[in-house]
Amino acid sequence: MEYRKIKDEDNDGGTVSDDIENLRGKGFSGASVSNVPVREQSKWKRKTVVTLALTFLTSSQAILIVWSKRAGKYEYSVTTANFLVETLKCALSLAALARIWKTEGVTEDNRLRTTLDEVIVYPIPAVLYLVKNLLQYYIFAYVDAPGYQILKNLNIISTGVLYRIILKKKLSEIQWAAFILLCAGCTTAQLNSRSDHVLQTPLQGWIMAIVMALLSGFAGVYTEAIIKKRPSRNINVQNFWLYIFGMAFNAVAILIQDFDAVVDKGFFHGYSVITTLMILNHALSGIAVSMVMKYADNIVKVYSTSVAMLLTAVVSVFLFGFQLTLAFFLGATVVSVSVYLHSAGKLQR
């Protein structure tokens, strides 16, 4: 299979902890700093920036959702908003490319023109997400919404397993332990008095949750495979083609689901300041995810979004007067230790 080749072609697939290791190496012997290639340093900086950006954007995304729920029900059509998110991402990618073309000129790696061989796989993640979103309607027959939030943490495990199987990248035993802890810690942090309902989930519900976790994990890992298959290809070009398919899929969704409403009330009916902020945030988060896939990997993405979940809760205490539970503190402790172990596990390999 094609994505099996990726491992060999990929010279850019180290995780953030790779670079933490490099950085520590630098720290130990100040004199050898000049021996470390400048390229390594700039790679590490780039990974750190995209990871922090993803964490910040994911966290503020959740806060915007809470804010919009407090402000009242969604009055706008979700399909038009999704279409605008994809369009905005496309536009931002093009803008970035225009700047690059100005400074570097058009090259083999940054030209927009592509081949069927390159783009044929680009719609696959979008299709996987579509199937997952369709399943989402059916799973609520077996699980309630808070239960589904808990089961979604299975994504962490599925991403780790598929990352190992499909991208053939190894995690050390300590890193696997850290990954199990990340899943347990995130779930613990979300525990509330109704969480035990999830244990009464019927077998069909469990199977659907596991299938959805696998689809979601597969889509993530497959996106990483696509992006890393051509390491020298400019990320903005790759993004542009990914988002073009996103626009196409969402245009179809508007036609099927919301055509009448858009014709009757107009495309932008019900849009507010919060809606605009959410569209902007989703677009930037989407680009940050692509960047993390290019310059880091799915494991970093999972850690980044998990830490964002904890940050969201802490920020919500100040913004919305939320109460933190003992379960949250315990889960946050376990997630913190997991982050440490992910890095320590790499160092000791």
Instruction: Using CB under 8 A, list all residues that contact a second copy.
Output: 150, 173-174, 177, 180-181, 184-185, 187-188, 191, 193, 195-196, 198-199, 324-327, 330-331, 333-334, 337, 340-341, 344, 348
Smallest separation, CB 235 to a second copy (Å)? 35
| 180 or 207: CB nearest a second copy | 180
| Lookup: tokens for 315 | 């920020």
| 36 or 327: CB nearest a second copy | 327
State the residue for tokens 């470390």. 36
| 70 or 194: CB nearest a second copy | 194
Smallest separation, CB 137 to a second copy (Å)? 25
| 137 or 318: CB nearest a second copy | 318
CA nearest to 294, candidates 19, 51, 37, 77: 51
Smallest separation, CB 280 to a second copy (Å)? 36
Smallest separation, CB 139 to a second copy (Å)? 18
Q: Yes or no: say if 308 and 55 are a contact pair by the CB < 8 Å rule.
A: yes
| 272 or 325: CB nearest a second copy | 325
Smallest separation, CB 215 to a second copy (Å)? 24
Q: Burial, 273: exposed, middle or buried (Cβ in 10 Å; 0-12, 13-18, 19+)?
A: exposed
Smallest separation, CB 253 to a second copy (Å)? 35
Give the dihedral sign, CA 121/126/129/131.
Answer: negative
CA nearest to 268, candidates 65, 87, 68, 77: 77
Smallest separation, CB 346 to a second copy (Å)? 12
Smallest separation, CB 132 to a second copy (Å)? 24
Q: Which residues contact 126 (CB under 8 A, 6 or more apart)?
A: 242, 245, 246, 249
| 239 or 338: CB nearest a second copy | 338
Q: Which secondary structure element, helix H or strand E, spans residue 79, and what is its range?
A: helix 78-104
Distances (CA, A) of 227 to 10, 177, 222, 224, 310: 10, 28, 9, 5, 29
| 291 or 341: CB nearest a second copy | 341
The values of phi and psi at residue 77, to 5°, are -85, 130
In this structure, the number of other CB atoms found within 10 A of the CB of residue 31 comes to 6
| 167 or 181: CB nearest a second copy | 181
The span from the CA of 42 to the CA of 21, in Å, is 15
First to last CA, the chain: 29
| 58 or 190: CB nearest a second copy | 190
The span from the CA of 83 to the CA of 252, in Å, is 10
Q: Yes or no: say if 236 and 89 are a contact pair by the CB < 8 Å rule.
A: no
Smallest separation, CB 170 to a second copy (Å)? 16
